[in-house]
Structure 1
Amino acid sequence: MLAGALAALPLASRAEAQAAPLDPFTNDEAYWRQVASQYDVTRDVIQLENGNWGMMPRAVLEVYRENLARVNRDTSYYTRRGYGRDAKAVRDQLAQAMGVPAEELAFTRNATEALKALILGYNRVGKGDSVLYADLDYDSMQACMDSLARQQGAQVVRIALPEPATRDNLIEAYERTFRENPRLKLVLLTRLSHRTGLVIPVREIAAMARARGIDVIVDAAHSWYQCDADIASLDCDFVGVNCHKWLGAPLGMGAIHIRKSALDRIDLDPAEGVDHGIWSRVHTGTSDFAAILTAPAALAFHQSIGNKHRMDRLRALRNRWVSQVRHIDRVEILTPDDPELHGAITSFRLRDVTSDDGNTKLAAALLDRHAIFTVSRNGVGKGACVRITPALFNSIEDVDAAAQAIRQLAGDWPQ
């Protein structure tokens, strides 16, 4: 099933895909329609809220069903005898895709579980030290940083990232904060924000932190397979990722990466009594074996398209709707047009509509009036917003409809 679906895509190889970028606006819409046809998408609405988790293409879903049936049929007769070998092979493939050694990677059920283990297990913060996070970081991870500081008698430093953002002012914001907080020990960096879609220059910021003896934990829940195919390029010691978002593996699969040289900075999980390396830093209990076994099928699907093609397409869909509304006086686009600072996700707000309630109502109006499904996001320093998140199954017509709807709302929404 999977092999047939991949063969239907008119790209000869991953290498060819990487070498020959396509123009998604002109001669290759037929190709992207073919990609979209691999997904069974609801026709009740235009689905532009794809940040919660990623839809599996049909062929990957079939592989998952087969794996689920096998695990359900053979139960522990399989999991106690053959699963360990198969799971190791899956781990090896994921590690190769991420560009990291396999022994530095372990499965989790999601990025939150991975990041919780990293933050609460970090053992180099003491009384009077500081930890740092930003307004665009994920709520649960902010709460974990608060909890770590509270338990260790440390201080929390919280910053709001610049808006509008540039590469230079993002780096400067962190550099200034590092300079002003000489006892800073740990910083949380979100590669791609779930709130606005802002992509920050993690590698450069992490290098500055390292030079000052500050450790970095990277939240790559949204960036892995939305913009980056590997995490090695980030050059960081601690990273949490999701496999069920932009890779499109089944729900309930993520991963934790800890460099071997940094392993002693993360304590064993309280449920672990013996140190078995990275696997002892997170205790998941029973995992979804079928989901883990399906990850290679998801990797194969995306590798048949090619990383550059995927990134270019997602950015093109984003740019299409943004370019039609950015000039409207009342519309504020929260993500810059610099391709290094955004992926697919981008949020907007209407001027003077900054409350949670106001943006919840805007998202409801997009759904009720225009059958466009989005989601409101809060916690941004300058006010709440509405997030628009296209995926590979979305069309130019989908994002054009979103632009038209935003244009109408900007004209008639009460100030």
Structure 2
Amino acid sequence: MVLTRRAMMAGLGAAAATYGAPPAAAVRRAPPAGAEPEPPALFGAPKGVTPDRLARDEGFWEGVARRFQVSPDFVNLENGYYGIMPDPVRAAYHRAVDRLNRENSHLLRTTYRAEADRVRERVAAVTGVRPDELALTRGGTEALQNLLAGYRRLAPGDVVMYADLDYHSTQYTMNWLKERRGVRVARLVVPEPATRAAVLDAYAKALREHPRTRLLLISHMNNRTGLVLPVAELVAMAREAGADAVVDAAHSWGQLDFTIPGLGADFAGFSLHKWMGAPLGSGFLYIRRDRLDDIDLAFADESFPRDDIRSRVHSGTMDVAPILVTPVALDFHDALGAAVKQARLRYLRDRWVEQVRHLPGVEILTPDDPAMYGAITSFRLTGRTSEADNLAIVKHLLDRHRVFTVRRGGLARGDCVRVTPALFTSAGDVDLLAKGLRELAGRPG
């Protein structure tokens, strides 16, 4: 059944849920065997309702949840890996795959390039930059690797720097620069507990201790704990110290309400298949137009002119269906709006965190400063810092409560468990997590 705008709005009369009376988990449904994709139906957030108020309206969000095909077998609180497609995108993806299979190389050799350019224009409009400052990639990792590996302003003896919370694939790329460029690699530790002042102090200290730092990797929102860094201040700090920053915005774009100019960065990598809900295999990189010459051509690419940003990416023959579907994903995003998505995801995070933060032995690894978190937040049980410890916690939550989470490693102070709700997550879902954590902490009820 197609969910109409009127049906979506019907939920707005429902009272907002309170912590004392948790609603039932969102209706879950699996696609019937052999079913055709549902026809897409767009909808919008209602006029005159603030994002914070709408974030608490379970009636509205149950309607949103019905636009996703979610497994009924478990409560998925591990949506940081990638974001599943909402129904309009899923249906469009089926059509795009069929079209690509049907038209084959004729599509790729005739109209695809112009269609991809229109996608770039659409992405540029959402991010607040020029289309010729964006190049499409197969994901955030490819985007960031191309920027880091291609950064040309390094000399032997220079320093490249990253933090313990940065994404492992980008850490590997920075380490590789030691052989590739003859540089030294510095690693800083983001403080726990994190505050804005403590984070800024840690980066300032690291830059002072390594005055030859020329390239700094900054995760806007890291994938280990979900901590959101004050990127604009850190980019400015790096620039003052003589370093360029590459910003990893793979997790933040679509989850937080911002545009590229607000980051202050000249170089950044993004994912489309995480919080924008585009199909797997889609992302893009950003290079400010007057900084293009500071990134190498990708493998001496000659497919595009040197002054075209697309020459900084060479992916070979790729599945273009995810790119063709990107405008539909952006339509879905725009229908809700970044501010509404951000408010809902923060509300879900706050709901479970506020129920367990006071429990002895439960460590929440993001602060309560709204500027420093979104949906993703990790926890650690005091003293349980090994990989085995945290795999056991993940198994307990799944076996006892059907709540699916994931263990994360690489933190200086030990492993943790990451929790990531999504737009289809209900308040009841995160309440199940809180119940499981109370049990683990020895505080049932």
Band the TM-score falls in, shorter-chain normalisation: over 0.9
**Are 1:398 and 2:429 an aligned pair?**
yes
2:20 matches 1:20? no
1:125 corresponding residue in structure 2: 154
In structure 2, what is the Cα distance between the partners aligned to 1:248 and 1:232? 23
Q: Show the counterpart of 1:365.
A: 396
Contact 1:90 1:295 (C-alpha < 8 Å) held by counterparts: yes
For normalisation by structure 2, the TM-score amounts to 0.88
List gaps (5 residues or longer) in structure 1.
none
Aligned counterpart, 1:379: 410
Report SS of the residue matched to 1:55: coil
Is the aligned partner of 1:104 residue 2:129? no
Q: Deviations over 1:63-89 (max 9, x none)?
A: 111111111111122221111221111
Does the CA contact (< 8 Å) of 2:140 and 2:270 recur in 1?
yes
Q: Name the CA shift for 1:299/1:218 in 2 (closer, same or farther; >3 Å).
A: same
Distance 1:328 1:162 in 2: 22
Equivalent position to 1:277, from 303, 308, 315 = 308
CA contact (8 A) 2:164 2:188 kept: yes
Deviates more, 1:365-374 or 1:314-323: 365-374
Residues 287 and 315 of structure 1: CA distance in aligned 2, closer, same or farther (over 3 Å): same
Separation in 1, partners of 2:276, 2:55: 24
Residue 56 of structure 2 is aligned to residue 31 of structure 1 = no
* Amino acid corresponding to residue 159 of structure 1 in structure 2: L
Question: C-alpha distance in 2, partners of 1:23/1:336?
Answer: 22
Kept after mapping to 2: 8 A contact 1:203/1:236:
yes
Q: Contact 2:218–2:248 at 8 Å: present in 1 too?
A: yes
Residue 237 of structure 2: aligned partner: 208
Which residue of structure 2 lines up, in the alignment, with residue 186 of structure 1? 215
Pick closer, same or farther for the CA change 1:377–1:183 going to 2, 3 Å: same
**In the TM superposition, what whole-angstrom CA distance separates every residue of 1:219-255 from its partner, at most 9, and x where no partner exists?**
1110011113422210101100000000000010010
Q: SS state of the match for residue 84, structure 1?
A: helix
SS in structure 1 at match of 2:380: strand
Is contact 1:49–1:390 with CA below 8 Å preserved after alignment? Answer: yes
Counterpart among 148, 167, 171 of residue 138 in structure 1: 167
Does the aligned pair in 1 maintain the 2:257–2:339 contact within 8 Å? Answer: no
Shift of 1:152: 1.9
Match for residue 196 of structure 2?
167
**Contact 1:91/1:106, CA 8 A, preserved across alignment:** yes
| 1:336 and 2:402 are equivalent in the alignment | no
Are residue 312 (structure 1) and residue 343 (structure 2) matched?
A: yes
The alpha carbon displacement at 1:181 in A equals 1.4
- For 1:182, the aligned partner's letter is P
Read off the aligned partner of 2:53 and give its amino acid letter. Answer: D
Taking a change above 3 Å as real, the CA distance of residues 300 and 37 of structure 1, as seen in their structure-2 partners, is: same
Look up the SS of the partner of 1:165 in the other structure.
coil
Task: Give the TM-score normalised by structure 1.
Answer: 0.95
- Going from structure 1 to structure 2, the CA distance change for 1:338 and 1:412 (only over 3 Å counts) comes to closer
CA 1:342–1:332 in structure 2 vs 1: closer, same or farther (change >3 Å)? same
- Contact preservation (8 Å) 2:76, 2:404: yes
Whole-angstrom distance in 2 between the partners of 1:247 and 1:241? 10
Q: Is the 8 A contact 1:130 1:149 kept in 2?
A: no
Distance in 2 between the 1:17 and 1:148 partners? Answer: 50
Distance in structure 2 (CA, Å) of the matches to 1:384 and 1:238 = 30
The answer on whether the counterparts of 1:317 and 1:344 sit within 8 Å (CA) in structure 2 is: yes
- Asked whether the equivalents of residues 135 and 160 of structure 1 are also in contact (C-alpha less than 8 Å), the reply is yes
Partner of 1:75: 104
Which residue of the partner structure matches residue 50 of structure 1?
A: 79
Native 8 Å contact 1:165 1:336 kept in 2: yes
CA distance in 1, matches of 2:260, 2:48: 18
Once residues 81 and 215 of structure 1 are traced to their aligned partners in structure 2, the CA distance between those partners, rounded to angstroms, is: 39
Q: Which residue of 2 aligns with 1:325?
A: 356
Report what 1:154 is aligned to.
183
SS of the residue aligned with 2:252? coil
Aligned residues: 411
| Cα separation, partners in 2 of 1:303 and 1:164, compared to 1, 3 Å | same
Deviation of 1:175 (Å): 1.2
Q: Is the 8 A contact 1:224 1:231 kept in 2?
A: no
CA distance in 2, matches of 1:124, 1:250: 34
Q: Does 1:195 align with 2:224?
A: yes
Q: Which amino acid aligns with 1:46?
A: V
Correspondent of 2:384 among 353, 373, 394: 353
Aligned position for 1:250: 279
Alpha-carbon contact 1:136-1:194 (below 8 Å) kept = yes
Matched residue, 2:419 = 388
Stretches of structure 2 lacking an aligned partner (at least 5 in a row): 13-41
Instruction: Confirm whether residue 113 of structure 1 aligns to residue 148 of structure 2.
Output: no
Classify the secondary structure of the residue corresponding to 1:411.
coil
Between stretches 104-113 and 80-89, larger displacement belongs to 80-89
Q: CA deviation at 1:210?
A: 1.2
* Residue range with higher mean Cα deviation, 196-205 or 262-271: 262-271
Counterparts of 1:405 and 1:24, CA distance in 2: 27
